[in-house]
Amino acid sequence: MKSAKNSPLKDGARVAIIGGGPAGSFFSIFASKLAKDLGRRLDITIYERKTFVNQGAAGCNMCAGVVSESLVQLLALEGINLPPSVVQSGIESYHFHTQNGNVRIKSSRLQQRGIATIYRGGGPKGSIEKGIQSFDDFLLHKAVECGAKVEHIIVDEIRMERDKPVLYSRGKMLHDCDLLVGASGVKASTGEMYEKLGTGYKAPSIIKAMQSEIEMGNNWISSQFAHSIHIFLLHIPRIKFVSIIPKGDFITISILGKEPDAGCTKVFLSHPEMRKMLPPGFKIPEKFCHCFPKINVGAARKPFAHRLVFVGDASSARLYKDGIGSSYITSKAAAHTALLYGIGEEDFKEHYLPACETLNRDNLFGQFLFHVNDLISTISPLSRGYFKIIQQEQKNLQKDAHYSDILWDMFTGSRFYKNIFIRALNPLPIIRLLLAGSASSLRKVFFSHQ
Amino acid sequence: MPEEGLLGRIYKDDEIIVKEGMQSRTMYVVQSGKVKIVKSDGDKEIILAVLNEGDIFGEMSLFDASPRSASVKAIGEARVLAIEHEGLLKRITMDPTLAFRIIKQMSQRIRNLNSKLSTAMRTITQVNNKLLLLNSENVTFRDRETKSSHVIDNIAQIQKELHKCNELFIQNESL
Ligand SMILES: Cc1cc2nc3c(=O)[nH]c(=O)nc-3n(C[C@H](O)[C@H](O)[C@H](O)COP(=O)(O)OP(=O)(O)OC[C@H]3O[C@@H](n4cnc5c(N)ncnc54)[C@H](O)[C@@H]3O)c2cc1C
């Protein structure tokens, strides 16, 4: 008979984690560390179908590969320092390319290379770079150092037998466990497998994105993209948003839009604003490493049950931002619940669900802020005013950096959306923006009549 | 090592990362190389501790807003990641376990200080005993010539021990 509450994971308890991406590794690391502090030992197995050492999509967890400023700092505090073999580029600024011109934004708070660009697998197909260690492989090794075992195997069936989850792969029983952790991202077939358990879990809603890896050589990338992530907000048909992330010899082009396809990358590379940044004589390659990963844009329903908890993308993630940081938050909250409170449905509801709800609520503020941002960009005088203010602020960050910091925090994910929302409501800067917008339209009217 | 993949800021040998007396609430984590915590004593510099990769410093500023109690300088080339104070405090309110590692490091430092303090106390007691002895010897003073060299030796030794003691107290003050 399953009880709503259950005791915490005991000494020697068996934990099975499906998925060795960031969420699975984080759960394993934090559960092992806390268990050690409590004088317990856990028997953790991570089931992961990939190895993260092969080049191309097959060995990769496919994302833009930006580890946010806040996550870099949190990991350092946890004693997880990202080594240069994992960090492809240390980022210190964001460079916005808009209809009104370009502006480079730095944080007014810290002057350092505080954001990391990383690969989620063994690097792009055809890359000859040596010594790349993927972020996922690095974290998985950390989990193993903390005591976890890793089995490179796909889990395709789960059954509840004698009150415990039992895992199967291709008809063969793997083992039963005291706690099952679903850290399998947004893979559709795995999501369906969980839904079939009938616990009320519903996989998150998703949208498709497009990613391409284009080789340009380290020297060119260092000179053109130097320690900066480039964001393009250019009103190109079918393309809503493009980011370029420098990584050694390659740039990662990440596109959000209406059903993006490989053609979108070619259209984007041919845009005059982008052409300026390409090496002389650059020809768009016929073939390049690309993929169509899915982004979690709506939280999973009921990400927990008796002896079962979902973390990372399989649960809740921050909207368009810091998905790896969200995995850190949900995995840590779930690990602490399982060790300190219990592994029953009520335990997760009481102690784990609030962490997911914080992210979900915050995403509502995020949605609103992105709408406002879109709105500003469609009203020309306002967007010109906004752009001018940011340019001025960047000249003297110590004096005033209100809008720069808002933009920085929105795009880097350094602050929660709610915090940004509250700052955005400050009336004085709003008046300043409206004045700048009016001045810009007056200037336009005046000069067009001369 | 490619320069691209380096996070934080690089400091050259002897470059100041944190300046004694300055008001700042940033915390730091050493990413590579070594740094030293130093305290100036007149025109002398006393090294209080040497920190390695992964070590945290400036953590006291998380809990109080007092000026920096010591300076931190790079030993050779060191790479250091700054941790933003306000962001961290907000995260700690959501996840108090984030402060565990900082508290663990602080409690280790308190243990070290306790052992240094008890050494200092022992030295003071020894010095005190010697002074008492000297005093009583002065009272029963007979052979002025031989005794005076004995007194000078004792005073030199006392001076040395007091100096050692002073250094320990400076460390206690700043850590
Ligand atoms: C285009 C795009 C760009 C992004 N950019 C960023 C970014 O720059 N920064 C950022 O922080 N986040 C970014 N994200 C989000 C980020 O990728 C995710 O939030 C993050 O990967 C979630 O981690 P996870 O461990 O939950 O899932 P995943 O990383 O998807 O890992 C799940 C793992 O489970 C394994 N698995 C699945 N099913 C099974 C099974 N049945 N058996 C065995 N193994 C299984 C998979 O092989 C995989 O390794 C981006 C996402 C997209 C789509």
Place of tokens 């002897």: B14
Across A274-302, b (16+ Cβ under 10 Å) vs e yields: beebbeeeeeeeeebbbbebbbbebbbeb
Contact status, residue B72 vs residue B48, Cβ threshold 8 Å: no
In chain B, what is the straight-line distance between the N-terminal and C-terminal CA atoms, in Å? 34
Residue A198: which region, alpha, beta or left (left: phi > 0; alpha: psi -120 to 50)? Answer: left
Nearest-neighbour CA in chain A from B71: distance (Å): 19
d(CA A280, CA A246): 18
From A76, A86, A113, residue closest to B29, measured CB to CB: A76
Which one of A49, A174, A244 would you pick to mutate in the ligand 1 pocket, going by the greatest count of ligand atoms within 8 A of its CB?
A49
Looking at residue B1, its pLDDT comes to: 45
Mind giving me the DSSP string for B39-103? EEETTEEEEEEEE-TT-EE-GGGGT--PPPSSEEEEEEEEEEEEE-HHHHHHHHHH-GGGGHHHH
Tell me which amino acid residue A387 is. F
| Over residues A11-27, mean pLDDT | 98
Structure tokens at B102: 């900082």
Q: Which candidate in A34, A110, A119, A227 is best for mutational testing of the B interface (most B CBs within 10 A)?
A: A110
- C-alpha to C-alpha distances, A129 to A55, A65, A234, nearest whole angstrom: 11, 17, 32
Residue B95 clears pLDDT 60, i.e. is over it = yes
| Over residues A219-247, mean pLDDT | 91
Strand A250-257 vs strand A308-310: parallel, antiparallel, or unpaired? unpaired
Looking at residue B144, its pLDDT comes to: 59
Nearest-neighbour CA in chain B from A78: distance (Å): 7
> Which residues of B lie closer than 8 Å to A, measured between beta carbons?
1-2, 4-9, 26, 29, 31, 53-54, 56, 81-84, 86-88, 90-91, 94-95, 97-98, 100-102
- C-alpha to C-alpha distances, A16 to A46, A51, A389, B89, nearest whole angstrom: 6, 18, 52, 33
- What ipTM score was computed for the predicted complex, to two decimals? 0.88
Domain ranges of chain A: 14-65+135-205+297-362, 206-296, 365-448
Q: Is the CB of A332 under 6 A from ligand 1?
A: no
- Backbone torsions φ then ψ of A265, nearest 5 degrees: -60, -40
Architecture of domain A206-296: 2-Layer Sandwich (3.30)
Q: Is the CB of A209 under 6 A from ligand 1?
A: yes
What is the whole-number distance in angstroms between the Cα of residue A430 and the centre of ligand 1?
38
Cβ of B88 within 8 Å of Cβ of A72? The answer is: no
Atom of ligand 1 nearest to the CA of A325: 11
pLDDT band of residue A1 (cuts 50, 70, 90) is very low
Contact status, residue A184 vs residue A190, Cβ threshold 8 Å: yes
Looking at residue B2, its pLDDT comes to: 55
Residue B22 clears pLDDT 60, i.e. is over it = yes
- Backbone torsions φ then ψ of A67, nearest 5 degrees: -95, 115
DSSP letter at A63 equals S
Contact status, residue A356 vs residue A366, Cβ threshold 8 Å: no
Which one of A187, A261, A292, A412 would you pick to mutate in the ligand 1 pocket, going by the greatest count of ligand atoms within 8 A of its CB?
A187
Structure tokens at A335: 């690990």
| Over residues B65-88, mean pLDDT | 93
Task: List the one residue out of A177, A205, A163 whose CA is nearest residue A47.
Answer: A177
Looking at residue A2, its pLDDT comes to: 53
d(CA A187, CA A195): 12
Q: Which candidate in A81, A111, A117, A316 is best for mutational testing of the B interface (most B CBs within 10 A)?
A: A81
| Closest C-alpha residue for ligand 1 atom 27 | A185
Element (H, E) at A193: helix A188-195
Looking at residue A327, its pLDDT comes to: 98
Structure tokens at B46: 């006393």
CA nearest A248 in B: which residue? B4
DSSP letter at A259 equals S
Options 3.30.1280.10, 3.50.50.60, 3.40.50.800, 1.10.10.10; CATH of A14-65+135-205+297-362: 3.50.50.60
Q: Touching check for A265 and chain B: CB below 8 Å?
A: no
Q: Is the CB of A59 under 6 A from ligand 1?
A: no
Looking at residue A129, its pLDDT comes to: 67
Residue A317 clears pLDDT 80, i.e. is over it = yes
pTM of the predicted model as reported, rounded to 2 decimal places: 0.90
Looking at residue A244, its pLDDT comes to: 96
Element (H, E) at A15: strand A14-18
Strand A149-151 vs strand A43-47: parallel, antiparallel, or unpaired? parallel
Tell me which amino acid residue A114 is. G
Contact status, residue A314 vs residue A204, Cβ threshold 8 Å: yes
In the stretch 95-124 of chain A, residues with CB closer than 8 A to chain B read: 109-114, 116
Question: What residues are paired with B51 via a beta bridge?
Answer: B35
With contacts defined as CB-CB under 8 Å, which chain B residues touch A416? 90
In the stretch 327-356 of chain A, residues with CB closer than 8 A to chain B read: 329, 332-333, 336
* Neighbouring C-beta atoms of residue B99, cutoff 10 Å: 18
CA nearest A227 in B: which residue? B4
pLDDT tens-digit readout, B34-70: 999 999 888 888 898 899 999 999 988 888 888 998 9
- Backbone torsions φ then ψ of A291, nearest 5 degrees: -155, 170
Q: Which candidate in A73, A80, A222 is best for mutational testing of the B interface (most B CBs within 10 A)?
A: A73
d(CA A76, CA A365): 28
With contacts defined as CB-CB under 8 Å, which chain A residues touch B83? 73, 76-77
| Closest C-alpha residue for ligand 1 atom 9 | A66
- Residue, of A338 and B154, whose pLDDT is higher: A338
Residue B148 clears pLDDT 80, i.e. is over it = no
